[in-house]
């Protein structure tokens, strides 16, 4: 077919793609070459101070394995120094074949601009079809910077991924969580941030062998970090909790201490709905839901939570949901395995006493 703009019969430009001039050739070129997956490997400090791979990275690597069945290459990109060595074997066993380590002591601390510069260069070098980040506070800061440098699209906060050949379908809540939108990128690499906790953490599935490539960071515009302080999060990480006591606007403030006592006795953690974050009773790391965290406990005990769709988006992987609400028709009853109709504060106190 001829080109509308130059009327030439031999011009291969497809007419009227609805894209800015030059964009079609640009992404076509990349589509032809791009293959495989690259995951940004985020690390954290464990309770003993040792460095470890965040669980959501294993979730992403497990999902890649499930979607691609080991057909394509898998790269990891990690930042830090000698302290990363003990992690190599574990990463290989979760499917990373080649690990790019941006080897710089200064980058053991998160510097979004420097991380984005280096990641973009690694992606240009490796040309993966898909680049994945955890939708963690750091992942949410980093991924858009990388996407902007590569002039590619980014689907943020995904809750499901599927693959057809090299085309990634990325599903995420849209329009205030009222619909789930499945999005395909018209540009390569296809980039997504994925919520921690939406996929299971797999068992290691591969022999612990692979290659590490030390990448020399060229970025020199690091900011000076004057001081850093670890913020203790009361009740621990809610996305790892096996028992989660979750509080909503139907409870009184005094019940937080009771819920914490119940959680301690059951070996669990305390989380909340967004309303309690808005009231300033909890910080955002405790919020469950679309704009908070996705959780996957064995038991989710919801006290005084109505079950708004944005809240339910965060508990779809909970194995059992028990709700306490004074309203027998509260929406949470639709997803609860058990609904206890009664006063949430009184039932929490009774539960605490009986434990
Ligand atoms: C873009 C967007 C993103 C959002 N993201 C999130 C999110 O991530 N997480 C989230 O939680 N919300 C989110 N929300 C807000 C969400 O829509 C709801 O407003 C919120 O979840 C309601 O919180 P709640 O259930 O605690 O409060 P309410 O809806 O006010 O419900 C309180 C419940 O407590 C019950 N109750 C009252 N008194 C008692 C009592 N004494 N004993 C027992 N039960 C009692 C009531 O019957 C009611 O069911 C989002 C909203 C938007 C627009």
Range with lowest mean pLDDT among 31-35, 92-96, 127-131, 189-193: 31-35
Residue-wise pLDDT tens digits, 23-67: 545 555 466 677 999 999 999 987 788 899 999 999 999 999 999
Name residue, tokens 């691609």: 68
Q: Do domains 23-215 and 238-354 have the same CATH topology?
A: yes
Between the CA of 336 and the centroid of ligand 1 the distance, in Å, is: 15
List, edge to edge, every strand of the sheet that includes 98-103: 154-158, 190-194, 130-134, 37-40, 74-80, 98-103, 211-215
Task: Count other C-beta atoms under 10 Å from residue 217's C-beta.
Answer: 18
Model pTM score? 0.73
Q: Is the CB of 275 under 6 A from ligand 1?
A: yes
Between the CA of 8 and the centroid of ligand 1 the distance, in Å, is: 61
In CATH, 23-215 is 3.40.50.1110: no
pLDDT computed for residue 3 by the predictor: 37
Percent over 70 (pLDDT), the chain: 88
Q: Is the CB of 291 under 6 A from ligand 1?
A: yes
Percent over 90 (pLDDT), the chain: 66
Best of 285, 305, 313, 339 to mutate for ligand 1, by most ligand atoms within 8 A of CB? 305
Q: Is the CB of 173 under 6 A from ligand 1?
A: no
What is the C-alpha separation between 37 and 70, in angstroms, rounded? Answer: 11
Residue-wise pLDDT tens digits, 178-237: 788 999 998 899 999 998 888 989 999 988 889 999 999 877 767 777 887 766 555 567
pLDDT computed for residue 198 by the predictor: 85
Mean pLDDT of 80-93: 94
Confidence of residue 11 (pLDDT cuts 50, 70, 90): very low
Between the CA of 331 and the centroid of ligand 1 the distance, in Å, is: 10
In the chain, where are the structural domains located?
23-215, 238-354
Residue 7 has pLDDT above 50, yes or no: no
Correct CATH for 238-354 of 1.10.1530.10, 3.30.530.20, 3.30.300.30, 3.40.50.1220 = 3.40.50.1220
Atom of ligand 1 nearest to the CA of 292: 8
Between the CA of 312 and the centroid of ligand 1 the distance, in Å, is: 10
Confidence of residue 175 (pLDDT cuts 50, 70, 90): confident
Structure tokens at 152: 């590619």
Residue 9 has pLDDT above 50, yes or no: no
Task: Count other C-beta atoms under 10 Å from residue 85's C-beta.
Answer: 12
Confidence of residue 342 (pLDDT cuts 50, 70, 90): very high
Range with lowest mean pLDDT among 27-36, 70-79, 146-155: 27-36
The angle that helices 255-266 and 344-354 make with each other, rounded to 10 degrees, is: 40
Q: Is the CB of 294 under 6 A from ligand 1?
A: no
pLDDT computed for residue 218 by the predictor: 78
Residue-wise pLDDT tens digits, 282-338: 988 899 998 888 898 999 999 999 999 999 988 988 999 999 999 999 999 999 999
Confidence of residue 269 (pLDDT cuts 50, 70, 90): very high
pLDDT computed for residue 302 by the predictor: 98
DSSP 64-125: HHHHHTT-S-EEEEEEESGGGGGGHHHHHHTT-SEEEEEE-GGGGS--HHHHHHHHHHHHHH
Among protein residues, the one with the nearest Cα to ligand 1's atom 31 is: 306
Best of 135, 177, 274, 327 to mutate for ligand 1, by most ligand atoms within 8 A of CB? 274
């Amino acid at each position: 077919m001829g080109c509308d703009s130059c009327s030439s019969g031999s011009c291969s430009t497809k007419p009227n793609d609805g894209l800015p001039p030059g964009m079609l050739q640009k992404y076509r070129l990349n589509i032809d070459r791009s293959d495989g997956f690259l995951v940004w490997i985020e690390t954290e400090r464990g309770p003993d101070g040792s460095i470890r791979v965040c669980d959501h990275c294993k979730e992403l690597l497990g999902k890649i394995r499930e979607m691609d069945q080991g057909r394509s290459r898998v790269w990891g990109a990690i930042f830090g120094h000698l302290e990363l060595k003990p992690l190599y074997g574990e990463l290989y066993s979760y499917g990373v074949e080649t690990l790019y380590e941006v080897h710089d002591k200064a980058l053991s601390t998160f510097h979004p601009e420097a991380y984005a510069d280096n990641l973009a260069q690694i992606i240009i070098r490796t040309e993966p079809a898909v680049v994945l980040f955890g939708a963690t506070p750091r992942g949410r800061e980093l991924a858009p910077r990388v996407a902007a440098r590569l002039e590619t699209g980014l689907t943020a906060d995904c809750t499901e991924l599927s693959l057809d050949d090299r085309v990634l379908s990325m599903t995420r809540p849209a329009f205030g969580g009222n619909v789930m939108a499945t999005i395909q990128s018209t540009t390569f690499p296809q980039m997504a941030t994925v919520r921690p906790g939406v996929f299971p953490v797999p068992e290691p599935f591969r022999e612990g062998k692979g290659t590490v490539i030390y990448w020399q960071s060229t970025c020199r515009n690091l900011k000076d970090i004057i001081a850093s302080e670890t913020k203790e999060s009361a009740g621990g990480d809610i996305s790892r909790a096996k028992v989660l006591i979750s509080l909503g606007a139907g409870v009184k403030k005094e019940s937080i201490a009771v819920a914490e006592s119940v959680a301690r006795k059951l070996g669990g953690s305390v989380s909340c709905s967004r309303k309690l974050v808005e009231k300033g009773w909890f910080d955002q790391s405790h919020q469950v839901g679309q704009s908070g965290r996705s959780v996957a406990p064995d038991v989710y005990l919801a006290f005084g939570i109505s079950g708004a769709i944005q809240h339910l988006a965060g508990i779809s992987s909970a194995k059992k949901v028990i709700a306490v609400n004074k309203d027998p028709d509260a929406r949470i009853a639709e997803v609860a395995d058990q609904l206890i109709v009664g006063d949430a504060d009184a039932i929490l106190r009774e539960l605490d006493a009986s434990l």
